Amino acid sequence: MNIQPTPYDHPDAVALDDAVQAEYALRYGDEGDATPLDAGMFVPPQGLYLLAYDPEGNPVATGGWRTQDKNDEGYENGDAELKRMYVIPGARGLGLARRILAALESHARETGRTRMVLETGTAQPEAIALYTSSGYEPCAKFGLYRDHDNSRCFAKPLV
């Protein structure tokens, strides 16, 4: 698999974002994640967006991080927020999410970020298992869904 930096607004990234939004809607019974995102949030060194391609050149997985600092949504100075981690159903179980996660953590660390944070939900037990097995621990809730009962927030020091 080829993992490469890709703009968040690239057509392949948009297609995978549409797929993850559809999965959120199925799992949570709503219209997906309403967190405002734009391509500029993922431009290094303020963030990074990665896509994984299979040997035939098809996009199969994605993930990104964006800079966050202390604000009224519960973020802290030095935070790197993980966004849009997704692997298409046919490519699950190949370790792609773990590889993308490690690459994003490394890049965020290199840019001086001190903590990786993420928000997921109770309808995504596979995501929770990935994050906890990768050293993430529950933390104070933050972000758009901080007041939702099914929201779960995790953090991992990057230093």
Strand order in the sheet with 47-53: 2-5, 47-53, 59-68, 79-87, 115-121, 151-157, 137-138
Number of structural domains in the chain: 1
Residues 131-157 pLDDT 10s:
999 999 999 999 989 998 999 999 999
CB-CB contact of 105 with 158 (8 Å): yes
pTM exceeding the 0.85 threshold for the entire prediction: yes
Residues 84-134 pLDDT 10s:
999 999 999 999 999 999 999 999 999 999 999 999 999 999 999 999 999
User: Which domain does 65 fall in, by range?
Assistant: 2-157
CATH number, position 44: 3.40.630.30
* Residue 7 to residue 10: CA distance in whole angstroms: 5
109 Cβ neighbours under 8 A, 6+ residues apart? 158, 159
* Residue 136 to residue 125: CA distance in whole angstroms: 14
